Protein backbone atom coordinates (compact mmCIF):
# COMPACT_ATOMS: atom_id res chain seq x y z
CA UNK A 1 0.00 0.00 0.00
CA UNK A 2 2.80 2.43 0.88
CA UNK A 3 4.58 1.55 -2.35
CA UNK A 4 1.43 2.35 -4.33
CA UNK A 5 1.06 5.72 -2.60
CA UNK A 6 4.70 6.47 -3.32
CA UNK A 7 4.23 5.74 -7.02
CA UNK A 8 1.11 7.94 -7.12
CA UNK A 9 3.00 10.74 -5.38
CA UNK A 10 5.86 10.50 -7.91
CA UNK A 11 3.37 10.62 -10.76
CA UNK A 12 1.73 13.75 -9.33
CA UNK A 13 5.11 15.44 -8.91
CA UNK A 14 6.11 14.56 -12.50
CA UNK A 15 2.80 15.90 -13.82
CA UNK A 16 3.30 19.11 -11.82
CA UNK A 17 6.81 19.60 -13.24
CA UNK A 18 5.68 18.98 -16.83
CA UNK A 19 2.79 21.43 -16.38
CA UNK A 20 5.12 24.06 -14.91
CA UNK A 21 7.53 23.74 -17.83
CA UNK A 22 4.66 24.04 -20.33
CA UNK A 23 3.32 27.14 -18.56
CA UNK A 24 6.75 28.78 -18.60
CA UNK A 25 7.18 27.92 -22.30
CA UNK A 26 3.76 29.33 -23.18
CA UNK A 27 4.49 32.50 -21.23
CA UNK A 28 7.68 33.03 -23.25
CA UNK A 29 6.09 32.13 -26.59
CA UNK A 30 4.99 34.98 -28.89
CA UNK A 31 1.28 35.49 -29.45
CA UNK A 32 1.70 34.88 -33.19
CA UNK A 33 3.92 35.67 -36.12
CA UNK A 34 5.94 38.89 -36.23
CA UNK A 35 6.19 38.96 -32.45
CA UNK A 36 9.14 38.64 -30.08
CA UNK A 37 9.23 36.48 -26.99
CA UNK A 38 10.03 38.09 -23.67
CA UNK A 39 13.43 36.37 -23.76
CA UNK A 40 14.17 37.73 -27.24
CA UNK A 41 13.27 41.22 -26.09
CA UNK A 42 15.62 40.90 -23.12
CA UNK A 43 18.39 39.70 -25.44
CA UNK A 44 17.97 42.76 -27.65
CA UNK A 45 16.22 41.33 -30.71
CA UNK A 46 14.34 43.84 -32.90
CA UNK A 47 11.57 43.25 -35.41
CA UNK A 48 12.29 44.58 -38.90
CA UNK A 49 8.72 43.88 -40.03
CA UNK A 50 5.71 44.62 -37.84
CA UNK A 51 3.34 42.34 -39.77
CA UNK A 52 1.10 45.26 -40.73
CA UNK A 53 3.11 47.86 -42.68
CA UNK A 54 6.32 48.35 -44.64
CA UNK A 55 7.58 50.78 -41.99
CA UNK A 56 11.37 50.70 -41.84
CA UNK A 57 11.75 49.80 -45.52
CA UNK A 58 11.80 51.64 -48.86
CA UNK A 59 12.40 50.94 -52.54
CA UNK A 60 16.06 50.98 -53.49
CA UNK A 61 17.07 54.42 -54.82
CA UNK A 62 13.40 55.46 -54.90
CA UNK A 63 12.50 56.13 -51.29
CA UNK A 64 9.24 55.46 -49.51
CA UNK A 65 6.82 55.31 -52.44
CA UNK A 66 3.77 53.06 -52.99
CA UNK A 67 4.99 49.83 -54.54
CA UNK A 68 4.38 46.17 -55.33
CA UNK A 69 5.46 45.30 -51.78
CA UNK A 70 2.23 44.79 -49.87
CA UNK A 71 1.27 43.32 -46.50
CA UNK A 72 -1.33 40.53 -46.51
CA UNK A 73 -2.23 38.06 -43.76
CA UNK A 74 0.77 39.08 -41.67
CA UNK A 75 3.30 38.57 -44.47
CA UNK A 76 5.27 40.95 -46.66
CA UNK A 77 4.51 40.04 -50.29
CA UNK A 78 5.98 41.24 -53.55
CA UNK A 79 3.12 41.00 -56.01
CA UNK A 80 3.37 40.33 -59.74
CA UNK A 81 1.13 43.31 -60.57
CA UNK A 82 2.84 45.11 -63.47
CA UNK A 83 0.90 48.32 -62.79
CA UNK A 84 2.56 48.82 -59.41
CA UNK A 85 6.02 50.30 -58.81
CA UNK A 86 8.56 47.49 -58.65
CA UNK A 87 12.04 47.30 -57.17
CA UNK A 88 14.04 45.74 -54.38
CA UNK A 89 12.97 46.68 -50.86
CA UNK A 90 15.80 47.87 -48.59
CA UNK A 91 16.01 48.54 -44.88
CA UNK A 92 16.14 52.16 -43.78
CA UNK A 93 18.96 51.25 -41.39
CA UNK A 94 22.40 49.83 -42.15
CA UNK A 95 23.86 46.93 -40.16
CA UNK A 96 27.33 45.51 -39.62
CA UNK A 97 27.56 42.77 -36.98
CA UNK A 98 24.26 40.93 -36.54
CA UNK A 99 22.18 37.79 -36.44
CA UNK A 100 19.31 38.10 -38.96
CA UNK A 101 16.47 35.59 -39.09
CA UNK A 102 13.40 35.45 -41.30
CA UNK A 103 10.78 33.14 -42.80
CA UNK A 104 10.26 33.05 -46.56
CA UNK A 105 8.24 31.24 -49.19
CA UNK A 106 8.01 31.17 -52.98
CA UNK A 107 5.97 29.48 -55.64
CA UNK A 108 7.44 26.19 -56.87
CA UNK A 109 9.31 27.90 -59.72
CA UNK A 110 10.01 31.15 -57.87
CA UNK A 111 13.34 32.96 -57.62
CA UNK A 112 14.42 35.72 -55.23
CA UNK A 113 17.11 36.60 -52.72
CA UNK A 114 18.19 38.63 -49.70
CA UNK A 115 21.19 40.94 -50.12
CA UNK A 116 23.47 42.09 -47.35
CA UNK A 117 25.89 45.03 -47.08
CA UNK A 118 24.01 46.94 -49.77
CA UNK A 119 25.49 50.37 -50.56
CA UNK A 120 22.57 52.51 -51.70
CA UNK A 121 23.52 55.38 -54.01
CA UNK A 122 22.74 56.61 -57.56
CA UNK A 123 26.18 55.34 -58.61
CA UNK A 124 25.08 51.79 -57.76
CA UNK A 125 22.13 51.03 -60.04
CA UNK A 126 21.02 47.82 -58.30
CA UNK A 127 21.21 46.17 -54.90
CA UNK A 128 23.07 43.19 -56.33
CA UNK A 129 25.83 45.37 -57.75
CA UNK A 130 27.12 45.87 -54.18
CA UNK A 131 25.56 43.26 -51.90
CA UNK A 132 26.31 39.51 -51.73
CA UNK A 133 23.14 37.42 -51.95
CA UNK A 134 21.48 34.75 -49.85
CA UNK A 135 19.69 32.82 -52.58
CA UNK A 136 15.97 31.98 -52.36
CA UNK A 137 14.65 29.44 -54.86
CA UNK A 138 11.62 27.24 -55.45
CA UNK A 139 12.19 23.52 -55.85
CA UNK A 140 10.96 23.47 -59.46
CA UNK A 141 13.06 26.37 -60.70
CA UNK A 142 15.63 25.39 -63.39
CA UNK A 143 18.47 26.86 -61.28
CA UNK A 144 18.02 24.01 -58.79
CA UNK A 145 20.25 22.06 -61.16
CA UNK A 146 23.07 24.60 -60.65
CA UNK A 147 24.96 23.84 -57.40
CA UNK A 148 25.97 27.45 -56.69
CA UNK A 149 22.42 28.78 -57.13
CA UNK A 150 20.44 26.53 -54.82
CA UNK A 151 18.53 28.03 -51.87
CA UNK A 152 20.72 29.12 -48.99
CA UNK A 153 23.78 29.51 -51.20
CA UNK A 154 26.07 32.51 -51.29
CA UNK A 155 24.73 33.12 -54.77
CA UNK A 156 27.00 31.99 -57.62
CA UNK A 157 30.09 31.60 -55.41
CA UNK A 158 29.83 28.19 -53.78
CA UNK A 159 27.51 25.17 -53.46
CA UNK A 160 25.68 24.41 -50.23
CA UNK A 161 27.95 23.19 -47.45
CA UNK A 162 25.16 20.85 -46.37
CA UNK A 163 22.65 19.82 -49.02
CA UNK A 164 19.14 21.04 -48.22
CA UNK A 165 16.10 21.85 -50.37
CA UNK A 166 13.47 24.45 -49.73
CA UNK A 167 10.16 23.30 -48.32
CA UNK A 168 7.31 22.69 -50.81
CA UNK A 169 5.52 25.72 -52.25
CA UNK A 170 3.13 27.25 -49.75
CA UNK A 171 5.22 26.24 -46.74
CA UNK A 172 7.50 28.58 -44.81
CA UNK A 173 11.28 28.20 -44.76
CA UNK A 174 13.47 29.48 -41.93
CA UNK A 175 16.62 31.39 -42.93
CA UNK A 176 19.44 32.82 -40.88
CA UNK A 177 22.32 35.13 -41.80
CA UNK A 178 25.06 35.90 -39.28
CA UNK A 179 27.76 38.46 -39.96
CA UNK A 180 30.52 39.31 -37.50
CA UNK A 181 33.68 41.20 -38.39
CA UNK A 182 33.15 40.42 -42.06
CA UNK A 183 32.66 36.70 -41.54
CA UNK A 184 29.27 35.48 -42.74
CA UNK A 185 27.38 32.24 -42.23
CA UNK A 186 24.12 31.26 -43.93
CA UNK A 187 21.59 28.72 -42.68
CA UNK A 188 18.48 27.23 -44.29
CA UNK A 189 15.99 25.33 -42.15
CA UNK A 190 18.62 24.99 -39.39
CA UNK A 191 21.33 23.61 -41.71
CA UNK A 192 24.58 25.47 -42.41
CA UNK A 193 24.70 26.26 -46.14
CA UNK A 194 27.48 28.85 -46.62
CA UNK A 195 30.51 30.43 -44.92
CA UNK A 196 32.80 33.20 -46.15
CA UNK A 197 35.17 35.85 -44.86
CA UNK A 198 34.43 39.03 -46.79
CA UNK A 199 37.71 40.57 -45.62
CA UNK A 200 39.91 37.72 -46.83
CA UNK A 201 42.18 37.62 -49.90
CA UNK A 202 40.32 34.49 -50.99
CA UNK A 203 37.03 36.40 -51.18
CA UNK A 204 38.64 39.19 -53.20
CA UNK A 205 40.06 36.61 -55.60
CA UNK A 206 36.67 34.93 -55.93
CA UNK A 207 35.00 38.24 -56.78
CA UNK A 208 37.74 39.16 -59.25
CA UNK A 209 37.14 35.94 -61.15
CA UNK A 210 33.34 36.14 -61.05
CA UNK A 211 30.62 37.85 -63.07
CA UNK A 212 30.60 40.58 -60.41
CA UNK A 213 34.13 41.79 -61.17
CA UNK A 214 32.76 44.63 -63.33
CA UNK A 215 30.98 46.15 -60.30
CA UNK A 216 33.66 48.05 -58.32
CA UNK A 217 31.64 48.21 -55.08
CA UNK A 218 30.54 44.57 -54.97
CA UNK A 219 31.45 42.76 -51.77
CA UNK A 220 33.94 45.40 -50.69
CA UNK A 221 32.27 46.59 -47.47
CA UNK A 222 31.09 44.38 -44.59
CA UNK A 223 28.26 46.67 -43.49
CA UNK A 224 25.23 48.18 -45.18
CA UNK A 225 21.54 47.83 -45.79
CA UNK A 226 19.55 44.61 -46.07
CA UNK A 227 17.56 44.16 -49.28
CA UNK A 228 14.67 41.89 -50.28
CA UNK A 229 14.69 41.08 -53.99
CA UNK A 230 11.76 41.80 -56.26
CA UNK A 231 12.20 39.09 -58.88
CA UNK A 232 9.68 36.45 -59.95
CA UNK A 233 6.69 34.51 -58.66
CA UNK A 234 5.68 36.60 -55.67
CA UNK A 235 8.12 36.10 -52.81
CA UNK A 236 6.81 36.56 -49.26
CA UNK A 237 8.50 37.17 -45.89
CA UNK A 238 7.50 37.19 -42.23
CA UNK A 239 9.13 37.08 -38.78
CA UNK A 240 12.04 39.27 -39.91
CA UNK A 241 14.11 40.02 -36.81
CA UNK A 242 17.67 41.07 -36.04
CA UNK A 243 20.08 41.05 -33.13
CA UNK A 244 23.03 43.41 -33.19
CA UNK A 245 26.17 41.58 -32.09
Range from 24-38, 84-98, 185-199 carrying the lowest mean pLDDT: 24-38
| pLDDT band (50, 70, 90) for residue 9 | low
**pLDDT at residue 187 greater than cutoff 60:** yes
> What b/e string do you get for 49-76 counting C-beta neighbours within 10 Å, with b at 16 or more?
bebeebeebbbbbeeeeebbbebeebbb
Residue 81 binned pLDDT confidence (cut-offs 50, 70, 90): confident
Please, which pLDDT band fits residue 18 given cuts at 50, 70 and 90?
very low
Q: What is the DSSP letter of 168?
A: P
Contacts of 81 (CB under 8 A, 6+ apart): 68
Check residues 23 and 232 and name the one with the higher pLDDT.
Answer: 232
Q: Is the pTM of this model over 0.85?
A: yes
13 phi/psi in degrees, rounded to 5: -65, -45
Task: Tell me if 141 sits within 8 A of 150, measured CB to CB.
Answer: no
- The mean predicted confidence, pLDDT, of the chain is 90
Measured CA to CA in angstroms, residue 102 lies from 22, 24, 88, 242 at distances of 25, 25, 17, 9
Region 18-43: what's the mean pLDDT? Answer: 70
Which stretch of 17-31, 138-152, 199-213 has the lowest confidence by average pLDDT?
17-31
The rounded percent of the chain whose pLDDT value lies above 90 is 81
At residue 191, does pLDDT exceed 70? yes
- pLDDT surpasses 90 at 1: no
Phi, psi (deg, nearest 5) at residue 51: 85, 0
CB 136 within 8 A of CB 111: yes
Is residue 11 scored above 80 in pLDDT? Answer: no
Q: State the Cα–Cα distance between residues 193 and 240, nearest whole angstrom.
A: 19
Residue 50: C-alpha distances to residues 30, 54, 74, 86, 107 (Å): 13, 8, 8, 21, 23
The lowest-confidence range among 16-30, 41-55, 156-170 is 16-30
For residues 12 and 1, what is the distance between their CA atoms, to the nearest angstrom?
17
Query: In angstroms, rounded to a whole number, what is the distance separating the alpha carbons of residues 152 and 159?
Result: 9
Amino acid sequence: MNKRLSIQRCCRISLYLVTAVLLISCKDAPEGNNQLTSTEKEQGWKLLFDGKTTKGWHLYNKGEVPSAWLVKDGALHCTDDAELEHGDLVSNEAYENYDLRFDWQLKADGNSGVFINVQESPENPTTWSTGPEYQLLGNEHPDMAKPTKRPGCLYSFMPQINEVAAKPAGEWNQARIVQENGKITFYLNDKLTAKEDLKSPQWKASVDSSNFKSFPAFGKISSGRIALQDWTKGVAFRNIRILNL
